[in-house]
Chain A
Amino acid sequence: MRVSWNEINCVECGACVAQCPTGALEIDGATWAVRFEKARCAGCERCVPACSYGALGVIEQREELLEKCG
């Protein structure tokens, strides 16, 4: 399982940022845009229910594989 971020659904409020223990989700102090750094994500999923707009979800490994295979 891994967390996925759908930028199109994101309204850039940052509600997820305060839930993220690893800093994978951050808000840019100048533009206030939300950034998601996959490599830093521990997959704890705390951010997923914190998002009210469906911008954060969980992808199962099988789906991830299918996604990679196109």
Chain B
Amino acid sequence: MKTYEEINERIGKREAVVVTAEEMTDIVRERGAREAARRVDVVTTGTFGPMCSSGVFLNTGHTTPRMKMTEATLNGVPAYCGIAAVDLYLGATEIRRGDPANESFPGEFEYGGGHVIEDLVRGREVRLEARAYGTDCYPRRGLDTALRLEDLNDAILFNPRNAYQNYNVAVNARSDRPIYTYLGILRPGMENAGYCSAGSLSPLLNDPHYRTVGVGTRIFLGGGVGHVAFGGTQHDPSVPRNEGGVPLGGAGTLAVTGDLKGMSHRFLRGVSATGYGVSLAVGIGIPIPILDEEMAAFTAVSDSEISAPVVDYSRDYWSNSGEPLALVTYEELRSGSIEIEGKKVRTGALSSLAKARVIAEELKGWIEAGRFTLAAPVDPIPGAGSGRRTGPLEERPFSPGGPRAAIPGGAR
């Protein structure tokens, strides 16, 4: 058994033994989990791919005279103003005002929120246009200015749902035309399959029961330092798991946050997904402390031990129906093709394993150099025993005189 304090002391002395999750797989295979736990202090993970539930809180600083922005765009991309006077939230999937979207199908979605975020971290100037209705304390009604990241008081990346623990593999089984999805262009007749995970290098697949990753965990985020803020939206720890505890589909997620000013365009890239929309590709790396033999065994997971469900995105996905067509391993996915219903299907990733490796190596370097210590969670995120489930929306007619149980004290 090791403690966070002991590991951090070794990091401080630059004596910590740090390996990537891929290296750990080999170490445990050769020496066993007990010996690996004795030798290794930290395992670094990494992932890089489109993570749509991402965005940034910006504080522009007060204008003269002051203004409470009610509508704002950055390079033509609308930002949310329903918070304090000069705070904005720019979402990664927001498309530029006037973008024809899918009116001419498939739309190109050349620029959006994710691209603005990339432009900011590249140090590029962006155009902020804003309007307001004017109040006695905030009389100004219009603004049109250039600004850079360095001009902002604050730029806090806050991503409500990142680092999905496993995910679907998408195919087009029923449509007779290509379909355009967030998992890529899927050609008819199951010509190809799209997937998006770093597999054995992916953070939550190395800590399947969230023993060490929780609220407050310090992480590599977009090339800078960030933290886990909470369990992410749609966090679903209750999905079926294999005997190693690995979920057999999309399960845990993380809400993460960090200072955009410390981040890099190498690990935050705007995404234009043809026929789908815009997004932001985010690089995340999480250090896993090897507290004991169990954590060593978890971090030894290999691509052959992680399976993902193959889902038909031409119908079953959007209609919330049907069963997965197959379960395939990441080892199979990475081979370039999988077999579904006797058919060889070519595979293509939306996530970059090459970038995920760079992230795991960079984080390893930070820890080895004593620049990055581990933060123990201040609270856990819900695990499989929590009973927490994520389900579809159950629609019902709204009735104004309906149940009032949600209103404290029954007040209206």
Interface size of A by CB at 8 A reads 19
B348 touches A19 (CB 8 A): yes
Q: Report A1-34 CB contacts with B as 1/0, cut-off 8 Å.
A: 0000000000111111111000000010101110
Q: Would you give the shortest CB distance from B290 to chain A, in whole angstroms?
A: 26
Specify the chain B residue showing the minimal Cβ separation from A16.
Answer: B348
Which residues, 274 to 332 on B, are CB-close (under 8 Å) to A? 274-275, 279, 281
A11-B48, A15-B194, A54-B272 known; A31+B347 contact, CB < 8 A: no
Of A36-44, A45-53, A57-65, which binds chain B?
A45-53
Interface size of B by CB at 8 A reads 33
B348 touches A32 (CB 8 A): no
Q: Given contacts A15-B194, A17-B336, A49-B108, could you give 20 more A-B pairs where the C-beta distance is less than 8 Å?
A: A11-B48, A12-B354, A13-B352, A14-B348, A15-B349, A15-B350, A18-B347, A19-B187, A27-B336, A32-B354, A32-B357, A33-B354, A50-B184, A50-B274, A50-B348, A52-B271, A52-B273, A52-B281, A53-B271, A53-B281
Which residues, 350 to 384 on B, are CB-close (under 8 Å) to A? 350-355, 357
Which residues, 232 to 275 on B, are CB-close (under 8 Å) to A? 269-275
Q: B353 to chain A: which residues have CB within 8 Å?
A: 12, 32
B49 touches A13 (CB 8 A): yes
The CA of A38 and the CA of B221, in the complex, are separated in Å by: 35
The CA of A31 and the CA of B358, in the complex, are separated in Å by: 11
Pick the contact of B349: A14, A29, A54 (CB < 8 A).
A14
A18 touches B194 (CB 8 A): yes
B274 touches A49 (CB 8 A): yes
A12 touches B273 (CB 8 A): no
Q: Report B47-70 CB contacts with A as 1/0, cut-off 8 Å.
A: 011100000000000000000000
The CA of A31 and the CA of B355, in the complex, are separated in Å by: 10
Query: Secondary structure at chain B's binding surface: helix, strand, loop or mixed?
Result: strand
The CA of A28 and the CA of B258, in the complex, are separated in Å by: 33
Q: B349 to chain A: which residues have CB within 8 Å?
A: 13-15
Q: Would you give the shortest CB distance from A42 to chain B, in whole angstroms?
A: 16
Q: A54 to chain B: which residues have CB within 8 Å?
A: 272
A32-B357, A52-B50 known; A12+B352 contact, CB < 8 A: yes
The CA of A33 and the CA of B352, in the complex, are separated in Å by: 9
The CA of A41 and the CA of B35, in the complex, are separated in Å by: 50
Q: Would you give the shortest CB distance from A48 to chain B, in whole angstroms?
A: 9
B351 touches A13 (CB 8 A): yes
Q: Would you give the shortest CB distance from A11 to chain B, in whole angstroms?
A: 5
Specify the chain A residue showing the minimal Cβ separation from B196.
Answer: A13
B193 touches A31 (CB 8 A): no
* Interface status of B18 (Cβ within 8 A of chain A): no
The CA of A18 and the CA of B353, in the complex, are separated in Å by: 15
| Chain B CB within 10 Å, residue with most, of A11, A29, A31, A32 | A11
Pick the contact of A49: B185, B192, B336, B357 (CB < 8 A).
B185
* Interface status of B148 (Cβ within 8 A of chain A): no
Q: B357 to chain A: which residues have CB within 8 Å?
A: 32
Q: Would you give the shortest CB distance from B353 to chain A, in whole angstroms?
A: 4
